[in-house]
Structure formats: C-alpha cells, structure tokens
Amino acid sequence: MLSTFNAIEAEQQKNHKYVEEMPASAINKEASKKDKLKVLNDYFFRNKDIYISKHNRFAAYPKHTHMFLEINYMLKGNASQVVDGNKVKLVQGDLLLLDVGAEHAIAALGEDDLLINILFRNSNINIELLKDLRRSRSVLYDFLLKSSMGENSSKQDYLIFRTAHNHKISEILDEIIEEYFRKREFSDSVIKAYLQILITNLVRDYHIADVKKNNKSQKLVIAMLAEIDKNYATISLDKVAGKYNYNKNYLSNIFKREVGKPFSKVILQKKMTQAHTLITSTTLPISRIIEAVGITNKSYFYKKYYEFYKEKPLAERQFNNNVF
C-alpha cells in the first residue's frame, strides 16, 4: 500500500517538481512571514493526537519548520536531508526526531525509498527531556554529549537514532504504522501507548559518537568519568590518583578544566541521580538507598537531595505511587 503511487507522487514523477500538498489552513501565515519559510501548525491534530503519513517521492521538499514534534522513520531505502544547516543521511531503520522549531529540507526520494512521517503533539516530550533521561544515568554520557555538540551548541533541535540493529524498535514502529493505516477500532489509543514505549526504547538505545580524544588530558578525564559511573559509591580522588599514578592536585585541576565541575561535585551528582532512580522506581527504604549510594550522613543526604530535586525523597515516592 505504501509503495503504491498517490496522485501527488504521479505528478511529481513526471516533472520532478514539488507539488504543494498542504492546505492553506495547515500553514501558519504569521510565523511563515516572520521566519521567511513555511511553518506547519497543528492542523493535522484536529481530531487526534498523532498524525502519520508517507513522504511523497520524486521531488525535493523545501525547507520548513513546524509547531509540533516530528519523527522521520526510514522504512525502506535512504533519504538525504539538511537539518538546521547540517547534512543528514538516513538509511533503512534510521529514525530522525525533530523538535519544535527544527528546520529541515528533504531531497527527492526514489521509487524504492519509503520515509514515514509521524507527527505528535505532546508538550511533555522534547529533545532536552530525552537527553536528560539518558544522561541522568551516566555522568560520562553527559560529558560526551556536551563535547560532541561543541561549546557553542547549547541547544540541539534534532536527534538521529541509528536503530537498524534494534529489532524491538522496528517492531514497535511497524505496529504504529499498521494500526494507523488499517484504522482499527481504538487505534489512536493503541498508537499513543506504543509511542510511549517507542520513546522509552529510543532513550535506552541512544548512543552518541565518541568525541575526538586527541589530547592526553581528555582521555584521562573520560577514564575518570567512567570510574565514577562504575564505582560512584566508593570512589575518591585519592583512589583514582593512585590507580592512574598521577598527583591528586594535578588530576583535580585537569578534571575541573575539562568537565567544568569539581571532581567531588560530579560524584555527588551521580549519587543523587542514582538515589533518585531508586526512590522513584523501587520500594527500598530510604536508609538503604542512602547506604547504597555511599553516603553515611543522613542529614547531609536529605539536604543535598532537596537542593538537587526541590523535593524531599518521601514526597517524591508518594507522588510516584499516586501517579502510577
């Protein structure tokens, strides 16, 4: 069904020129004038929360932006895009998540290319949330992510997931696509449930390319961050200095220069995020959790936990129990 030509594709195949597929009501005219490019609004969600379509082939799609989140899923073949000025190539199994405001243009697709657009309006999901969910489990991930983006890239409007190896993600996407196009009873509810599962699995699966470790200092800091992730409950600067045979003060200065935070603060960050995970996802007593993350002073733990999360541990556990 998806491979069959529609009327627009038949026209675009003849002259390879883009045929406008959006009604005037789908374009935010004021925003388009201001940004000098097409801005798509929430026209697609008149009676549903999720809109899925096949991207029309045989003509380049002009640069545009949108007021909702969009997933481009490469079901078959490949596609070239320019996203926020960066060249991006998707191959079969790849998924591109575009945040609100991301700008992209798509090169013409061939007959054997199938790109699926999944649009959804959920103000509680955005790129920063996804990165925060993933980085909260790893201080090393946080450092690598910032390094790969560069010092001047404080905001990133898109993420690429190379998911061809992950059969579970492709199965979830297949279910979403089938539910939508077969228009089964309660399909909207089923799709929304699948979408939450998809987002969770994408966060779990997401990997970033290692930054270029061209200098000795960065290699050393990455090793130290890996040590913190692995041994946060018992690690100390003295132990790391002894393991790598460096002067403690030298290591402290190198670490702060590369990471932007003192070694002790990063350890505390790791301990707090691990404690938060245990508090919100298990029924372990708070005293056991404090011990598990390597803190001996309860008063200190409660004080620091409140500084990090602006909430007391028991209050957070009560909130999660009420929600779930």
Query: Has residue 151 got a pLDDT over 50?
Result: no
What tens digit of pLDDT does each residue of 271-320 get?
A: 998 898 888 888 899 999 999 999 999 999 999 999 988 888 887 666 44
CB 76 within 8 A of CB 112: yes
Same domain, 168 and 221: no
Closest CA to 217 of 205, 228, 225, 207: 225
Name residue 27's beta-bridge partners. Answer: 40
CA separation for the pair 19, 59 (Å, rounded): 8
CB 81 within 8 A of CB 209: no
Lowest mean pLDDT among 114-123, 151-160, 253-262: 151-160
In a domain, 211, yes or no: no
| Mean pLDDT, range 2-14, rounded to an integer | 94
CA separation for the pair 44, 120 (Å, rounded): 9
Same domain, 188 and 263: no
CA separation for the pair 73, 173 (Å, rounded): 8
CA separation for the pair 28, 38 (Å, rounded): 8
Same domain, 198 and 97: yes
What tens digit of pLDDT does each residue of 162-193 get?
A: 888 888 999 999 999 999 998 888 888 888 88
In a domain, 296, yes or no: yes
Distances (CA, A) of 80 to 58, 108, 288: 13, 8, 51
Query: Has residue 148 got a pLDDT over 50?
Result: no
In a domain, 145, yes or no: no
Lowest mean pLDDT among 115-129, 224-238, 249-263: 115-129
The answer to whether the pTM exceeds 0.85 is no
What tens digit of pLDDT does each residue of 28-71 get?
A: 888 777 777 888 887 888 777 788 999 999 999 999 998 888 99
In a domain, 147, yes or no: no
CA separation for the pair 41, 56 (Å, rounded): 19
Lowest mean pLDDT among 150-159, 173-182, 190-199: 150-159
Q: What is the CATH number of the domain that holds 90?
A: 2.60.120.280
In a domain, 44, yes or no: yes
Same domain, 283 and 230: yes
List the domain range (segments joined by +) for residue 121: 7-137+152-205
Same domain, 93 and 232: no
Same domain, 171 and 246: no
In a domain, 146, yes or no: no
CA separation for the pair 134, 159 (Å, rounded): 13
In a domain, 178, yes or no: yes
Same domain, 255 and 281: yes
How do strand 94-98 and strand 158-162 relate by DSSP bridges? antiparallel
Same domain, 292 and 169: no
Burial of 15 (0-12, 13-18, 19+ CB in 10 A): exposed
CA separation for the pair 305, 186 (Å, rounded): 42
Same domain, 82 and 174: yes
Same domain, 177 and 35: yes
Same domain, 190 and 224: no
In a domain, 2, yes or no: no
Helix, strand or coil, per DSSP, at residue 83: strand
- In percent, the amount of the chain with pLDDT more than 70 equals 83
What tens digit of pLDDT does each residue of 68-84 get?
A: 889 999 999 999 999 99
Same domain, 186 and 289: no
Per the structure, the count of domains in the chain is 2
pLDDT given for residue 63 in this prediction: 93
Burial of 179 (0-12, 13-18, 19+ CB in 10 A): buried
The 8-class DSSP code of residue 107 comes to P
Name residue 97's beta-bridge partners. Answer: 71, 159
pLDDT given for residue 142 in this prediction: 63
Q: What is the CATH number of the domain that holds 290?
A: 1.10.10.60
Q: Of all residues in the chain, what percent are helix, strand and coil, respectively (each to 5)?
A: 50, 15, 35
